[in-house]
Amino acid sequence: MKRAVTFLFVGALALASVPVFAQAQSPQAQPSQPSSAQQGYPKEAFVKNISLFKILVHPLGYKILYWKSDMTIGAMYVPLTWFRGGVTATASITYGNTPDRPYVSISWVDGKFDHLAINAQSDMMGPTWGQLDPTLNLTAQFNIQEPARDF
């Protein structure tokens, strides 16, 4: 018993003294890495996720109805021209069958609008999809550069 206590004491002492012998690295020994600002990364990025009530399709784009923070319904127009350009497009749409859909994610980088992503339900016959009258002249509503910030 006395031998076991001595062994535990010596083991604990050995483990406690390990950090004393650890060698600190000097700042010169670490490779210098440029900061994110030097690499051209944005200083500030912000993403806002907004629950959607309905997505309405029109030949010029999508009118999305969303829940505002005061629980009223807001409207936002997303022109089809935003979806052109592949990976550099201003907007994208994905389809899925998850309970959190539909929602939209809007990204701002360095205070400027960057990207809008619509995450919609796959079932276009479901209650979250609708269609606007294609004869309506909504050119002015779809002629925007960025979404409004009235969430």
Measure the CA–CA gap between 148 and 144, rounded to whole angstroms: 9
pTM over the 0.75 mark: no
pLDDT digits (tens, 9 = 90+) for 21-32: 455 555 554 555
Q: With H, G, I as helix, E, B as strand and everything else as coil, classify residue 45.
A: strand
- Pick left, alpha or beta for residue 125 (phi over 0 → left; psi -120 to 50 → alpha; otherwise beta): alpha
pLDDT digits (tens, 9 = 90+) for 38-84: 566 657 888 899 999 999 999 999 999 998 888 899 999 999 999 98
Structural domain spans, the chain: 45-142
Q: Tell me the percentage of the chain whose pLDDT exceeds 70.
A: 72
What is the 8-class DSSP label of residue 105?
E
43: Cβ–Cβ under 8 A, 6 or more apart, which residues?
A: 37, 110
Kindly state the tokens that stand for 68. 């505002």
